[in-house]
Structure 1
Amino acid sequence: MEQYSEESLIQNKAPLTGKFGIPDWSTVHSDSGGLGKKPSNIEEWKRSMFNKEQIAEFHRNGYIANIKVLNETQCDKLLEEYQKVMKLEEDSAERALFYEYHSNQSKDPNNVLMHALGHWRVSQYFHDLVFCPAVTVPTAQLLSNIDEEFCKVRFWHDQLFAKPAKYGGVVAWHQDYSYWTKTQPMRHMTVHIALEDQTLENGCIQYVPGSHNWTRDGKPLPVTDFNFGDMESIQTILTDEEKEAFQPQPCLMKKGEASFHHPLAVHGSYQNRSDLPRRAAVLNYFADGVKSNTNELALLGTYKIAKGKQMGGQFFPVVFDPQCMEWKNNLL
């Protein structure tokens, strides 16, 4: 059962205290202003929009990268929060609000990958990142149907990927929707935000152009490594044609830049062998109307949404609604 109505959470300006005795930011369904003010006029809103060429590039390759979404000050605020998240004790109340928390998902001390989901619930800054117009506006464009300019967008979940200096681990090649079949239809979007410069040496994200067309009878490729550690395990399931087309393109992104990618775009990243950490924040969204495809929990620590019911409620807020945005009439 839904804990709170969406209408009441939209009105919240401060988080409610949850069962673990600490503020839970999932009870605030709007930007609180922690990362700055939202756009105040039509020209500022338009700066977040993709042009036709960018939209075409996304649909052609399955991704688009090097999109500036945060300034340096915003990145620094998030990096401060990152440090706090990585120092949380296992038995802390904050950790109890996470959907997943892996200090080292690879379990190999020479290839460390910190990976977490759910930090938007414990941090004002990571919460506000979810509602960032520079992210949600283009997501609404890319997820829209052919007969609309924007669609209504809901939040799915967030992720942190941290690779320490010298021995940061890999994120094996994969398609995101392979892990997300608890929802349908496949109208999802992933936004990967570089909180510091990403280079070949520190393990930047890489994509295989055109791989968003790779399916198995309409379904995503099967998962070959749930812990992301075996970089090339995907090769065991690719066809000869796919192997020939497997030509990854590195995205050398600057601090505050992001990539937007299709849920079937094959992507991954190699080790961090540099002298500095490589930290990224990932936001996952879906179009309003996506439904549950399971009677089990979609995410640990949330509530069950019956199969066939629309995804929504406390943990899957609306982050962009073109029907209620004050700038809509000015755009038309």
Structure 2
Amino acid sequence: MLDDLSTYDRPIGDLFPVPASAREWERFRLSDEQVEFFREHGYVSGIRVLSDGQVETLREELRGLMNPSHAKRRLFYEYHANESTDPARVLFHALGAWRAAAGFHDLLWHPAFTVASSQLLGGAAVRFWHDQLFCKPARHGGVVAWHQDYSYWTRTTPLAHLTCWVALDDATRENGCVHYVPGS
């Protein structure tokens, strides 16, 4: 049987070191200005949450997960990949990578997410709802229509949740990136 990483309720590796002191935790806090910007506009951006090494580790895991014959594919809640034989044109969408890959599992406990998320939710404890991988080649279809994530979450109340979006590749206007509507 394959190891389902959802059975582990803490990090299993050392990709995202856990701070050893209160001072170390503090470096993950957002500034008062960032929190206020979020309250006013509904998003905050430009926060570097991953080192180059962490990004490369996650990219490597992602390359393996995108293979439809990946040994842990059955652990995903959803898994969609087109059948293109051209790796530059593969579209990929999946939920559940945290169950199949150690880096994506441990990302859930990364203080850069948990500390900032708690701040933005008014100091509330943070609970993971789900992960999602969405990969598309630059300048290729697969456009995601304008939407509010809240419309997909029927078991919660406003401002009791948020989305943490992280690009593992450069996301620019030219190659297709996320856009946020201020105040939405």
Alignment of 1:1-332 (within 5 A): 21-89=1-69, 94-104=72-82, 113-144=91-122, 150-181=123-154, 183-186=155-158, 187-211=160-184
CA contact (8 A) 1:114 1:160 kept: yes
2: CA distance, partners of 1:62 / 1:137: 17
CA contact (8 A) 1:34 1:125 kept: no
- Length-normalised TM-score, structure 2: 0.90
The letter for the 1-side match of 2:8 is V
The letter for the 1-side match of 2:108 is V
2: CA distance, partners of 1:98 / 1:206: 27
2: CA distance, partners of 1:162 / 1:122: 17
Structure 1: gaps spanning 5 or more residues: 1-20, 105-110, 145-149, 212-332
CA contact (8 A) 1:112 1:167 kept: no
Aligned equivalent of 1:221: none
CA contact (8 A) 1:31 1:131 kept: yes
Secondary structure at 1:59 match in 2: helix
Higher-helix-fraction structure: 2
Structure 1 position 201, deviation (Å): 1.1
2: CA distance, partners of 1:73 / 1:175: 32
CA contact (8 A) 1:112 1:168 kept: no
Structure 1 position 185, deviation (Å): 2.5
Residue-by-residue CA offset, 1:169-224 (whole Å, 9 max, x unaligned)? 2111111121111x12331110001112111111111011112xxxxxxxxxxxxx
CA contact (8 A) 2:114 2:126 kept: yes
- Alignment size in residue pairs: 177
Structure 2: gaps spanning 5 or more residues: 83-88
Residue-by-residue CA offset, 1:128-171 (whole Å, 9 max, x unaligned)? 01111001101011112xxxxx2211110001111124424211
2: CA distance, partners of 1:126 / 1:56: 29
Aligned equivalent of 2:86: none
Residue-by-residue CA offset, 1:17-56 (whole Å, 9 max, x unaligned)? xxxx100000001112341321122222111111211111
Secondary structure at 2:182 match in 1: coil
The letter for the 2-side match of 1:40 is A
2: CA distance, partners of 1:112 / 1:176: 24
2: CA distance, partners of 1:210 / 1:120: 31
RMSD value, Cα: 1.6
2: CA distance, partners of 1:113 / 1:36: 28
2: CA distance, partners of 1:200 / 1:52: 29
1: CA distance, partners of 2:92 / 2:15: 24
The letter for the 1-side match of 2:111 is P
CA contact (8 A) 2:96 2:131 kept: yes
Q: Structure 1 vs Structure 2: percent identity of aligned residues?
A: 51
Change (3 A) 1:175 1:112: farther
The letter for the 2-side match of 1:206 is H
